Amino acid sequence: MIDPTINTDRAGEDFIADFTSLSRIGATPGGGVHRLAGTVEDGQLRAWLRNWLESRDFTVTIDAVGNMFGLIEWTPNAPYVLVGSHLDSQPMAGRFDGAYGVLAAAHAAVRVRRNVTATGQTPPFNLAVVNWFNEEGARFQPSMMGSSVFTGKLSAEHVLAITDPDGVSVEQALTALGYRGTDAAPETAAYAEIHIEQGRHLEKDGVSIGLVDATWAAHKYSAVVRGEQSHTGSTVMADRRDALVGASRLVVALRDLADTFADSALHTSVGQLFALPNSPVVVASEVRMVLDLRSADAEVLAEADARLHEHVAVIEKRDGVHIELTQAHFWGVQSYQPEGIDLARAVAGELGLSSQTMMTLAGHDSTNLKDVVPTVMLFVPSVDGISHNEGELTHDDDARAGVDMLTEVLARMCQGALQDAVLQHAAPAQVAQR
């Protein structure tokens, strides 16, 4: 184990101070952050991270889709153990989702390097801190964009052409910020990520560290509801083909669908909706929306998906609209490598931290990385499970314990602890090329 005097790092006070400092960028009056991918605030935080890394002698590189890497090289030409998460946020979001994991990774990397210097034990792998571009998928869809390109699930060319609702492309946004990079992505041996749980399990059970063993499955659809534009006053009711009415019924049908499965086995929502032409005196001609269905049980999700399509047919008939569903982002119930879970469990035990295995309900960049390299995904507790909300909170002690945990896991991964782990999922999760 790493010498605790090296791991301690002034009991994590430096980490908390740095986290306070980065949380000022894009801060909202309600105590959260607003840093959508590729915006000025994202650029400011990227500059903050670049400065942090370069002032500690990391070499910073940027790939074609804005993924940022902070490299520490011990062994020329050896592959890298990557550790990181994402700095972008949802609108009016919490401070911890993603940014906690990037800063924890940066601090863990510095501690591991200090230990390597102190012991003289040069690891067989190099080490890189990573900030993945656009994990959230708030401004540009799909989510987990940078890591999807990195793992070969989407092409850079395709992603660079994706536009936000104002018609600004990923390429334009990254170029404007100076983050449309040309560096090659580092060759990768393994990946580690730490993130807030975004649920209540760890807090309820009084456990410090979640060891993620599998993902919930997700079906995200882009839906277009088409009706006919007309006058809200003069058009007789029988003649109306109101896209907003059809869309509203779809929102409610999806919500009710979740209630037909016991024990919260299905989670559903519509989080985004654009009505056209969106004028008070015009019956809407078109509504675009995103449907999100998730379950830990593939059969439940398949059943829910079939019932969703039945609802669509009923709504089309009843409201005289046409509804087009396009698969936007699907992933399955998939496991992480057991070798990584065993490694993390052993480390938690040695550090005196309680741990438990659990699934992740949210998607993460590790959801992509685990398909191509051995991957460890760790959680720290979230207060009241609040997330994608300014009230998101993880207590300082839990945040510090997570950095200690990540440091030790990373040190062992750099020494080759997961070299023999077997990949579970050769087939990439499906990301639609819309």
Closer residue to ligand GLV in complex, CB, 243/358 = 358
Is it true that the peptide bond before 338 is cis, omega within 30 degrees of 0?
Answer: no
The count of residues interacting with Mn ion (CB under 5 A) is 2
Rg (C-alpha) for the chain, rounded Å, is 23
CB atoms closer than 10 angstroms to residue 182: 8
Helix or strand run (H / E) with residue 231: strand 230-231
Under the binding rule (CB under 5 A), the answer on residue 227 touching Mn ion is no
Closer residue to ligand GLV in complex, CB, 85/355 = 85
Residue 100 half-sphere exposure toward CB, CA atoms < 13 A? 27
Q: Which of 87, 176, 175, 182 is nearest to 131 (CA)?
A: 87
Q: Which of 293, 89, 104, 288 is nearest to 209 (CA)?
A: 104
Q: Give the shortest CB-270-to-ligand GLV separation in angstroms.
A: 14
Which residues share a beta bridge with 82?
128, 191
Options 136-144, 248-256, 263-271, 422-430: segment touching ligand GLV (CB under 6 A): 136-144
Helix or strand run (H / E) with residue 282: strand 282-283
Spacing of C-alpha 270 from chain mean position: 18
Q: Give the shortest CB-423-to-ligand GLV separation in angstroms.
A: 22
| Span between the terminal Cα atoms of the chain, in Å | 47
Closer residue to ligand GLV in complex, CB, 126/222 = 222
Q: Give the shortest CB-364-to-Mn ion separation in angstroms.
A: 6
Options 120-128, 137-145, 153-161, 385-393: segment touching ligand GLV (CB under 6 A): 137-145
- Residue 208 is encoded by which pair of tokens? 């410090």
3-state class (DSSP) for residue 75: coil
Q: Which of Mn ion, ligand GLV, none sits in contact with 98, Cβ below 5 to 8 A by type?
A: Mn ion
Q: Which of ligand GLV, Mn ion, none sits in contact with 144, Cβ below 5 to 8 A by type?
A: ligand GLV
| Beta-strand relationship, 209-215 and 355-360 | parallel
Which residues, 86 to 105, sit near Mn ion by CB under 5 A? 97-98
Q: Give the shortest CB-35-to-ligand GLV separation in angstroms.
A: 15
Q: Give the shortest CB-255-to-ligand GLV separation in angstroms.
A: 18
3-state class (DSSP) for residue 364: coil
Which residues, 339 to 368, sit near ligand GLV by CB under 6 A? 362-363
Q: Which of 123, 137, 186, 402 binds ligand GLV (CB under 6 A)?
A: 137
Q: Which of ligand GLV, Mn ion, none sits in contact with 363, Cβ below 5 to 8 A by type?
A: ligand GLV
3-state class (DSSP) for residue 380: strand
How far is the C-alpha of 115 from the C-alpha of 118, rounded, in Å?
Answer: 5
Binding mask 171-210 for ligand GLV (x = CB under 6 A): ----------------------------------------
The count of residues interacting with ligand GLV (CB under 6 A) is 6
Options 135-143, 332-340, 344-352, 383-391: segment touching ligand GLV (CB under 6 A): 135-143
Q: Which of 131, 143, 268, 366 binds ligand GLV (CB under 6 A)?
A: 143
Residue 77 half-sphere exposure toward CB, CA atoms < 13 A? 0
Q: Which of Mn ion, ligand GLV, none sits in contact with 97, Cβ below 5 to 8 A by type?
A: Mn ion
Under the binding rule (CB under 6 A), the answer on residue 144 touching ligand GLV is yes
How far is the C-alpha of 379 from the C-alpha of 202, rounded, in Å?
Answer: 9
Contact residues: Mn ion, CB under 5 A: 97-98
Binding residues (CB under 6 A) for ligand GLV: these are 135, 137, 143-144, 362-363
